[in-house]
Amino acid sequence: MDDKEITVVEHLEELRRRLIICVVSVILGAGLCYLVVKRIADLLARPVGNLVFLSPTEAFVTYLKLSLISGVFLASPIVLYQLWRFVSVALKGDEKKSLLIFAPFSFILFVGGVVFAYFFILPLGMDFMLGFATDTLRPMISFSSYVSFAGMFLLAFGVVFQLPLVMMFLTKIGIISPKFLRKKRRYAILIIFIVSAILTPPDVITQALMAGPLVVLYEISIILSNFVSPLRIGRPSE
């Protein structure tokens, strides 16, 4: 779209169009993933081992759920692109050019967050939680509960790994600055722990496993924001 201002109705129509594209992409992705859903289930279950299903319909319904979650992963390039394109409607010409640079890295960070969580954070968390088993207390994890836990955990990491990119983008268009990020660090850390508590199951360990990397990502965001801050132009870095 060009740089002319758009009305609220046009903005809502743009949102509706983007959402339809995202939903259709996820549905198509889920359909493709269902063809190999048993292999996906085997990969997802590796950090925990054998799973059980507790009702006749649980396995089938959970396969559908897993296909949908996997469809979100598969459609993530399109979903992230549509998100950034929707944001670009409110931006000016130079800001839109910056967006075209940031958008591809958004997908890379999403995949990086999912891979990091799958290979490092999820196994660590499961080892800790299953470590409470004894000779008389055996873990028996249902297929449905584990898919819900692991799927949302991986998705959450993919989303939160967008933090440096979002901070850089907001700095690039002048909404925030590296000085602001440093000044509000203590409040940011508090918000990070609150967000981690919302996105993870209600236990301290998984919350800490998400909050730790998020704090590191916030510090990285401050460093990277220095390189794109408009305040660097014509004067030394803060």
Give the tens place of pLDDT for each residue, 1-47: 445 566 777 778 888 999 999 999 999 999 999 999 999 999 999 98
Per-residue pLDDT reduced to its tens digit, 129-188: 888 888 888 888 999 999 998 998 898 899 889 889 889 888 887 888 899 999 999 999
Task: Output the pLDDT for position 94.
Answer: 64
Residue type, 182: R
Are the C-beta atoms of residues 182 and 163 closer than 8 Å to each other?
A: no
Task: Output the pLDDT for position 237.
Answer: 40
Task: Output the pLDDT for position 97.
Answer: 67
Distance between CA atoms of 192 and 214, rounded to whole angstroms?
Answer: 7
Looking at the chain, the number of H-run helices and the number of E-run strands are: 10, 0
Distance between CA atoms of 30 and 39, rounded to whole angstroms?
Answer: 14
Q: Could you state, in order of their start, the residue ranges of all structural domains in the chain?
A: 1-92+103-108+138-155
pLDDT > 90 in the chain, percent: 40
Are the C-beta atoms of residues 155 and 72 closer than 8 Å to each other?
A: yes
Per-residue pLDDT reduced to its tens digit, 76-120: 889 888 887 887 766 666 666 666 677 788 888 989 999 999 998
What confidence category does residue 238 fall into, taking pLDDT thresholds of 50, 70 and 90?
Answer: very low
Which residues are CB-contacts of 5 (< 8 A; sequence separation ≥ 6)?
Answer: none
What average pLDDT does the chain have? 85
State residue 52 phi and psi, 5-degree precision: -130, 160
SS3 content of the chain, % helix, strand, coil (to 5): 75, 0, 25
Task: Output the pLDDT for position 127.
Answer: 86
Burial of residue 165 (number of CB atoms within 10 Å: 0-12, 13-18, 19+)? buried
Are the C-beta atoms of residues 169 and 229 closer than 8 Å to each other?
A: no
Task: Output the pLDDT for position 37.
Answer: 96
Are the C-beta atoms of residues 6 and 14 closer than 8 Å to each other?
A: yes
This prediction has a pTM of 0.80
Task: Output the pLDDT for position 1.
Answer: 45
Task: Output the pLDDT for position 91.
Answer: 66
Q: Which tokens sit at 138?
A: 């055996």
35 vs 202, which has greater pLDDT? 35
